[in-house]
Amino acid sequence: MSIDGPGLLESDLAHDAYTQIIDAYDAGATTDVLRERLRPLEEFAEEPIDEECLLAACIKAFWEIGENVQAWRTRLRAMMAEGTSLAAWAQSGSALARRRTTVLERLLEQTATPKARPRPRRTHAPVRDKIFAVGDCLELVTASRTWRALVCKVGDKRGRCEYMIAPMRSVRRATRRAFEDGKVFAHWIGTPGEDVVGVHVIRLEHRALLREGNPFTVVAQVELDPTLYMLGSFGARTDIDAIEAHFERIEQNTFLQRTPIPLVHMLRQGA
């Protein structure tokens, strides 16, 4: 599991759990069905830190929709007291472990009583005029340097359109060939057929880009083959003002421990 920060949904496992619960709830699923949806994710929670991330995400999601989360809160409190998962956070720095503890304590305080107004089920219209498309090569020019990224997926769920962009490395020019010769931060994921690229992405929200001013420019387009890659890990949904810092953090590779993999492994052959 990839962890991008101490926030409740700043790991791919927590993000997937929360999103699946809320998506299924909006689609009309019962509580039993929602809990059943968690079983495949529970299989990935092999380490204490994974279990903690999944548990916290479930508490947040089920509390928001008005379900009883007291048993889960008791489990989370016991995990915190036992300390194994927080010790794993501390391996990346004591300050990070303290921040995570603050996040969990805030969650436990918030969910101590049932939500006064549970979140209603919602229906959403998809976003029509999308800013980017899969394969768009993006450039971000800041005062310090120029960053480049690739749009790997466009998600449109619950009325929230997000662009999954992969920061690029070794791309020195804003041309299609330069992007095709570049690299993404990723790891190899084994599948029943063959290994595929598990690319790390930042999630950019459509409305935020429009509201705060889209700082990216589309400079080229490449042909990606979706069968050759999957989203291996998710960075935090990033505020526009924090984009550059987020790119720097990924390049430093503190949490990810990902290897820059040539983009050619994700390209449609013969394009």
Parse the chain into domains and list their residue ranges. 12-110, 136-266
Exposed e or buried b for every residue in 210-244, given b needs 16+ CB within 10 A? eeeebbbebbbebebeeebbebbbbbbbbeeeebb
Q: How far apart are CA 240 and CA 246, in angstroms?
A: 10
166 beta partners: 150
| Phi, psi (degrees; rounded to nearest 5) at 76 | -65, -45
In this predicted model, what pLDDT tens digit does every residue of 161-220 receive, in sequence order?
Answer: 899 999 998 888 999 999 999 999 888 887 656 788 988 888 888 988 888 889 999 999
Q: How far apart are CA 258 and CA 232, in angstroms?
A: 10
Other beta carbons within 10 Å of 131: 17
The pTM (predicted TM-score) of the whole model is 0.62
Q: Is the pLDDT of residue 62 over 90?
A: yes
Q: What pLDDT is attached to residue 246?
A: 78
Q: What pLDDT is attached to residue 244?
A: 80
The identity of residue 102, as a single letter, is T
Contact between residue 236 and residue 246 where contact means Cβ atoms under 8 Å apart: yes
The identity of residue 221, as a single letter, is Q
Contact between residue 188 and residue 260 where contact means Cβ atoms under 8 Å apart: no
Q: How far apart are the first and last CA of the chain?
A: 33
The arithmetic mean of pLDDT across residues 52-56, rounded, is 94
